Amino acid sequence: MTPAGFRKTAERLLHDGYIISLFEAEFEGPAGERITRDVVRHPGAVAVVAIDGDEVVLVRQFRAALEAEMLELPAGKLDVPGEPLEVAARRELVEEAGLDAPHLEVLATFHNSGGFCDEVTTVFLATELVEATAEAFSVEEQYLTVERVRLDDVGGMIVAGTITDAKTVIGLLTALRRLGR
C-alpha cells in the first residue's frame, strides 16, 4: 500500500488560538485502520538571511515556549491575508532588523515539523541591504537585539549549539552553500 491510501475522515477544532489552531483529526489507513492525531494548523512563516559583506544579521529575542532567548534570522508569521511571501519577508526584515532589501531570492521552503503541524517556512537571501526604520509590533520585538555574526563563525555556532533554531540553521547552511562558502 502507498501513503496515498490514507484519507482524513473527520477533524474537530479543539482550540483556536492567537497563532495556531489545534485539531483532533481522524484518518483511515490503507487497510481500513483508524487513527487519531493531534494536528496544529499554522499560517506559515518567512525568514531572511540578510548578508552584509562577510556578516549575517541575526536577532536575539525571547521565545515564550522555550522561556529563553534565541539567536535567529529575522522572521515572522504570515499574518497579513493575501500578502506575497517576498513582501512579508521584507516587512519582517524592516520590523526586526531595521533593514530593507530591494531584491530577495528564495533559498529554501520547508515544513517545520510535519509530524504534527502544517507550518511551512520560506527562507529568503538578501544581499543588497538598505537601512530602514525598525518598527517593533510585539512585546518580544520591542526587546530584541540585532547582532551581526561573521559568516566564517556560523558553522561553529551551529555545531556548538549557540544557534539551534531550525529556520536559522536551514537558512544559514543553505545561504553558505549558495554563496560558495
Residues annotated catalytic, as ranges: 140
- The letter for the amino acid at 79 is D
Residue keyed to cell 529575542 = 61
Q: Strands, DSSP E only, in 17-144?
A: 21-28, 34-41, 45-52, 55-63, 68-72, 75-77, 99-100, 105-111, 120-126, 130-131
Q: Rounded to the nearest 5°, which phi and psi values hold at 96?
A: -95, -35
Q: What three-state secondary structure class fits 29?
A: coil
Report the alpha-carbon distance of residue 172 to residue 92 in Å, rounded: 17
CA 140 to chain CA centroid, Å, is 16
Q: Letter for the amino acid at 54?
A: D
Which residue type sits at 159? Answer: V
Distances (CA, A) of 4 to 28, 67, 81, 119: 11, 39, 31, 21
